[in-house]
Amino acid sequence: MRTAAAPVEVRRPSAVRALTTLLAVTAAATVVVELLNYWYAPEQEFGLAVRTGWAMLRSLGFLILIGHVNRGRVAARPFGLILAVTTVFAVGRLVVPRQGVPALPGLLGFAALTALCVAVVVLLYRSDTIRGHLVRHRKGLVVEGGTISWREVAPKRPQANGWLLTARVAAFTYSPLMLVPALVATGSLLDGGIAAVPAVLFWIGAGIAASYAVLFCTAFLLRGKGWATRALVMVTLGVLALDLPLCWWLLGVDGLVRDGAPLLTAATLCLWSLHRATRLTPPPDPPTRRPDLVDHEVSGKFDLR
């Protein structure tokens, strides 16, 4: 058994190189802006530290996105869209303090980061070169004709359109967007809010359960199962019905705006993507006529043979 020769390295297009550079700058800017916001915050409390740490983890998301872009993965576009939108919300909710006006360095950093995220989305969805580059799937070992090769493996499921992939990526953000405010709410337990312990524990459990529910629904969603779309809609509505009241009850109006708005945005994007994917589903083929049924149009009679 012989091994296939290694493929020749092809130089990436200039637009792809520009996108990877832009993503690296955005990842660094995310860390810098979050540190500025935390430094100039009037009150460096527990909740602000949790939200800042979660926002800074998004820099790792941009680094992962660089790997997807370099490999030409199809999922890079919806992943980049969700990451850019949620990053703007995650940083924007920390710029505005509870009282007073935002600090000027924080505002300038937020404006720069927003411009970078917008540029990332524009390149992902408006560049024909990048669209033609992001067409590959994951690689794996393939044994064919006595040869072992490491190459792209076509998925066995039907090819999903971009809207379904966007809905899938948006739905996967439900769990972390629920767990972050739940962790923030644990700060009230340290201040003597023992009565809220069952609600916080239920909130954390619901956030974990949401990840499994989304994983189950999206696995069948990409296989074209109609019931999976309805199930994901029900999961989305259930997540909103649970998370938003808990944000308002345990974190107040400030928590409802800071933590509920990003989840509402992700849910809206997921529902809109499901709606668009349903409209783009091709209609079923018309039924073929039976070969043993001959239509005599002139006489208006049918001859069964």
Q: What is the pLDDT of residue 146?
A: 58
Least reliable range by pLDDT among 181-195, 229-243, 248-262: 181-195
Report the pLDDT averaged over residues 255-269. 88
Report the pLDDT averaged over residues 261-286. 78
Tens of pLDDT, residues 47-69: 778 888 887 888 889 999 999 99
List phi, psi (to 5°) of 135.
Answer: -130, 5
- CA-to-CA distance for 280 and 34, rounded, in angstroms? 40
Q: What is the pLDDT of residue 140?
A: 53
For residue 15, pLDDT beyond 50: yes
Report the pLDDT averaged over residues 14-37. 91
Token pair in block for residue 116: 């970078």
- CA-to-CA distance for 251 and 34, rounded, in angstroms? 21
The pLDDT confidence band at residue 40, using thresholds 50, 70 and 90, is: confident
* SS3 assignment for 250-282: HHHHHHHHHHHHHHHHHHHHHHHHHHHHHHCCC
Tens of pLDDT, residues 96-122: 776 667 778 888 888 999 999 999 999
Q: What is the pLDDT of residue 211?
A: 94
The answer to whether the beta carbons of residues 34 and 55 sit under 8 Å apart is yes
For residue 184, pLDDT beyond 50: yes
> Residue 189 half-sphere exposure, CB side, CA atoms within 13 Å?
13
Neighbour tally for 71: CB within 10 Å: 15
Q: Specify the length of the chain in residues.
A: 305
For residue 24, pLDDT beyond 70: yes
Place of tokens 């990526």: 169
Least reliable range by pLDDT among 89-103, 137-151, 280-294: 280-294
